[in-house]
Structure 1
Amino acid sequence: MAGPVSSAAAPAATYNPGTRYGPALTLLASLFFMWGFITVINNTLLPHLRSVFELSYTQTTLIESVWFIAYFFASIPSAKLIERIGYKKSMVTGLLIMAAGALGMTLAASIPSYGVTLVMLFVIASGITLLQVAANPYVAVVGKPETASSRLNLVQAMNSAGTMLAPMFGAYLILGRSKGGTAQGEVVLTQAERLADAQSVVLPYALVAVVLVVLAVVIARFPLPDMGASTSRLAKEDRKHLSLWSHRNLVFGIPAIFIYLIAEIGVANLFVNFVSQPDIANLTHEQAGRYLTFLWGGMMVGRFAGSAIMQRFDAGKVLAAFSVGAFLVMMITVFAHGPVAMWSLILVGLFHSIMFPTIFTLGIKGLGPLTEEGSGLLIMAIAGGALVVVQGWLADHFGLQTSFLLTAICELYILFYALWGSKPTHALPDQQIG
């Protein structure tokens, strides 16, 4: 998934023409790259853990559910921590929390333990949540105010680059170095093979931990530009007669984010297992992990293309067209076989590309002074990714290929939102920030 937009309000700052912002922006872009990279490693980690711990699809997708539950529980504590120690120290703290979780993954592999794995993934995701809430506001101020949007697009592209490269890293260092990952189709491992396969996780997560610690040290010592005063919330008395729930685009946008995350995460997490099946592409998990790069690469290409298209066409109409495309390729995935089914599933990445940022933008349109609160509710909806476990249950009871009907249904709700639910009601004047 692309990195979600922070719910924190963009702080006001005074642009200083004499300050060189390039190095700071480059450093911040590396954070976006890292959390995109680490998030998508899960897509190659899940089929690996499925064979090591002999998990059902329900248990496999529960791993990703734990990841997104962390977003829900860590968001408010993250905001409170930032209030206490500031944005820069919070970024350093987030990186160190992620590093601790990555080192914990090496412990989980050494035991090996499914329970410890879940706990450590929760720790990593909590660190990412803190990092997102702290890093996004910085991107808004490191440079000219009029180019803030361009900078945000740049770091989101770096996030996509991380998601595109992670499958190759995971396929080579995790799946490529394990018996389960290089076997043709499903394989039952002996106790010794399971222990040996579990050890293949140690090196990649140790490398990730080292990179995260180095980044934390660099940011702690780097003279990041000073932040301006944060925008204040509308006074209680002033907003007494204003209601978030009178805005249709927000009311229907919250479930749209929630439902979209189910679709995106379900496709990514079950991709390797799906294309590895004999009647689809008959690949090893290692080979299938490499094809996952095309799925995330399609999301990066689609994000750039969608941005250009929306300069000429209404965002709601573009979202509707992409949701129709996503529905059609998912139906092909469900009913086709062989390479056609594999490539149709890869193609859904292209159509999913614009969905999160477009839904988010449409959801806060016309909220005016309520934008901050509305943004927070949309961010909380990211927890919808935890319900990917529902698709795991469907895969166990009705078959993996049939389970993608859930994804197709999700696309239909996005179409409904694009055509009707996203239309603003009781629109308020937008706040000027920065």
Structure 2
Amino acid sequence: MKNNYLVVLLVIVTFFVISFITNLLAPIFPALIQSYDIGLTLAGFFPFAFFAAYGVMSIPAGILVQMIGEKQVMLVAFLLALCGSVLFVVWPVFAIAMVALFLIGTAMALLQVAINPLLRSSGGSKHFAVLSVLAQFMFGAAATISPLVYSAIITSDHASTTWLLQLVPSNMTWLSMYVLFALLCLVMLVVISIMKIDNKAARINAERSHFGQSLLLFKDTTVIKFFFAIVAYVALEQGVANSISVFLQRYHQVDPSTQGAQVVSQFWLFLTLGCLLGIVLLKLFDAKHVLIAFSLGAFASLITALFADKALAMMAFAGVGFFLSIMWSVIFSLALNSVASGHGAVSGILCTGIVGGAIASPIVGAISDLSGNLQVSLLILLIPLGYIFSVGLWAKPLVTNHRVAVKTPTQPASLAQNN
């Protein structure tokens, strides 16, 4: 049992690292535009290069997990992320940046596919929804810290940070974060190398999926519907996060490197805090009902953020983060708990849906450049939000989330637990 807890802890830490690396793109987005002297449409290809890797590599990653195990896949992933970060820093031209971000995205795809079924098998299927929200809590915590670290590095003259700036071009100070990423990947490589990790997901699923079997899962209506739910969520999350600084700069004259970065951090902070409430609610209510309620809250917050005044808009963006908090976790847990077997391969297909992050920013940027109105272009994010709302209506999991029933005077104590 202790080993299970250690594996769960490693997975939670890995979620933190994934988020710290992934979600820097949002606060540095205006800096990327300035450094490369490009428009919103072309800038959208930065997140496209990163998230497109999920679309290409997630299914092969699922097969690889079942062939060589989670530990080896995690080692390969962090090695790729290390190489991508170093490449970005050493040769930061636009074309190489695309390659480097694709390598880092590939690494994150391998990690996502490996650690989600590992978390489910180590913590138990009935507790997967809650553990997944806990992982999302750490994901949000890292995303909260990342923009603050970036802002601190480029504005501080302390010796603890100036050495990072000396390693990158003076007009690309944001590259210092990728130096940090490289160091973080080195630490994770050491930790994973010395830690014992059983090949749990592969052993429990027993079967050794090949590429053809994974493709057959695309004929499963349930898997397809949850695949598009993941596409919708990541498109929504990244579409909002990557637009906050640019939106506030354009409509409310907010400095993207300081106050804009702080609002992005608050977006992730409230996404993190929402997870705490989500854990409580998932112990009391059906996950589908919680998803419906949070979807409605996200709708109201997004509309407010786009059309309210400066002060209210800044608070509303944080509100969007709060209501997005449980969506990934609930969708993923509902998906895996809706199939009887092949969770490694299913996880690979679901993580392919993270390609949604590659879709949102270029589309929002293109509509904005064509119409000259970023507010209108961001309304397109209501489409994926509507699909997420629908998941709470049609999902039929084989295993429901474990929750505690409230006792009443007429209810026997033996019925207090509701599985």
TM over 0.5: yes
TM class by shorter chain equals 0.7 to 0.9
Report the counterpart of residue 275 of structure 1 in structure 2.
248
Please state if 1:415 is matched with 2:395: no
Report the counterpart of residue 170 of structure 2 in structure 1.
196
Please state if 1:344 is matched with 2:344: no
SS at 1:90 equivalent: helix
Structure with greater helix percent:
2
Amino acid at match of 2:29: L
For residues 376 and 24 of structure 1, the distance between their equivalents in structure 2, rounded to whole angstroms, comes to 20
Q: 1:44 to 1:176 in 2, by over 3 A?
A: farther
Please state if 1:218 is matched with 2:197: no
For residues 261 and 144 of structure 1, the distance between their equivalents in structure 2, rounded to whole angstroms, comes to 25
Please state if 1:205 is matched with 2:205: no
TM-score by length of 1: 0.77
Match of 1:36 among 3, 16, 19: 19
Report the counterpart of residue 263 of structure 1 in structure 2.
236
Residue deviations 1:384-427 (CA, integer Å, cap 9, x gap): 111121011112122222222112333233333433xx244xx8
SS at 2:72 equivalent: helix
Identity of aligned residues (%): 27
Residue deviations 1:182-202 (CA, integer Å, cap 9, x gap): xxxxxxxxxxxx96322x134
Please state if 1:51 is matched with 2:24: no
Amino acid at match of 2:381: T
Amino acid at match of 1:207: L
Q: 1:326·1:408 contact (CA, 8 Å) conserved in 2?
A: no
RMSD between aligned alpha carbons? 3.3
Match of 2:104 among 107, 124, 134: 124
Amino acid at match of 1:360: F
For residues 246 and 94 of structure 1, the distance between their equivalents in structure 2, rounded to whole angstroms, comes to 29
Match of 2:290 among 307, 318, 343: 318
For residues 221 and 262 of structure 1, the distance between their equivalents in structure 2, rounded to whole angstroms, comes to 36
For residues 129 and 97 of structure 1, the distance between their equivalents in structure 2, rounded to whole angstroms, comes to 11
Please state if 1:107 is matched with 2:79: no
Amino acid at match of 1:41: L
Q: How does 1:346-365 map to 2 (within 5 A)?
A: 346-364=318-336
Q: 1:67 to 1:201 in 2, by over 3 A?
A: same
Q: Which runs of 5+ in 2 are unaligned?
A: 158-167, 401-419
For residues 70 and 243 of structure 1, the distance between their equivalents in structure 2, rounded to whole angstroms, comes to 20
Please state if 1:74 is matched with 2:57: yes
Please state if 1:400 is matched with 2:383: no
Report the counterpart of residue 76 of structure 2 in structure 1.
93
Report the counterpart of residue 145 of structure 2 in structure 1.
165
Q: 2:67·2:208 contact (CA, 8 Å) conserved in 1?
A: no
What is the total number of aligned residue pairs between the two structures? 383
Q: Which runs of 5+ in 1 are unaligned?
A: 1-14, 178-193
Q: 2:247·2:374 contact (CA, 8 Å) conserved in 1?
A: yes
Amino acid at match of 1:122: F
SS at 2:170 equivalent: helix
Report the counterpart of residue 407 of structure 2 in structure 1.
none
Amino acid at match of 2:141: A
Match of 1:334 among 306, 309, 323: 306
Report the counterpart of residue 380 of structure 1 in structure 2.
352
For residues 127 and 255 of structure 1, the distance between their equivalents in structure 2, rounded to whole angstroms, comes to 22
Q: 1:161·1:300 contact (CA, 8 Å) conserved in 2?
A: yes
- Shift, 1:295, TM fit: 0.3
Please state if 1:301 is matched with 2:273: yes
Q: 2:140·2:269 contact (CA, 8 Å) conserved in 1?
A: yes
TM-score by length of 2: 0.80
For residues 183 and 82 of structure 2, the distance between their equivalents in structure 1, rounded to whole angstroms, comes to 7
For residues 247 and 388 of structure 2, the distance between their equivalents in structure 1, rounded to whole angstroms, comes to 24
Deviates more, 1:133-142 or 1:56-65: 133-142
Deviates more, 1:393-402 or 1:43-52: 393-402
